[in-house]
């Protein structure tokens, strides 16, 4: 835990935040009396999201491998200028 006065914190904010990123707490003081605390945030565990946001109410679905195959030429032409 590090105690710094307001002027010190303003002048050296980057180094104070570096200390916080390393896991330390920084106490901001006014006339040597603590008034605020800067502490690291809890790290959230991110897990892979399923396709869609169905959650537990609906079963997760999978995308068929054919979804990623190229479209047939006649369908591609329908979306381009060549089909006109």
- CA–CA distance, 56 with 29 (Å, rounded to integer): 48
Average pLDDT over residues 14-30: 95
**Confidence check: pLDDT of 29 > 80:** yes
Share of the chain above pLDDT 70, in %: 81
So where are the chain's domains? 2-38
Q: Which run of H or of E encompasses 37?
A: strand 33-38
Homologous superfamily of 2-38 in CATH? YefM-like domain (3.40.1620.10)
Q: Can you give the pLDDT at residue 53?
A: 62
Q: 27: part of which helix (H) or strand (E)?
A: strand 26-30
**Which helix or strand (DSSP H or E) is residue 6 part of?**
helix 6-11
Predicted confidence (pLDDT) per residue in 30-70, tens digit: 999 999 999 999 888 787 766 666 666 666 667 888 889 99
Average pLDDT along the chain? 85
pLDDT score for 83: 47
């Amino acid at each position: 835990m590090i105690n710094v006065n307001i002027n010190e914190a303003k002048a050296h904010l980057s180094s104070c935040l570096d200390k916080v990123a390393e896991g330390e707490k920084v106490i901001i003081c006014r006339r040597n009396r603590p008034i605020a605390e800067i502490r690291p945030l809890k790290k959230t565990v991110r897990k892979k999201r399923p396709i869609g946001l169905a959650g537990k109410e609906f079963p997760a679905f999978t995308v068929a491998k054919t979804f990623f195959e190229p479209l047939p030429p006649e369908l591609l032409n329908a979306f381009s200028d060549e089909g006109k």
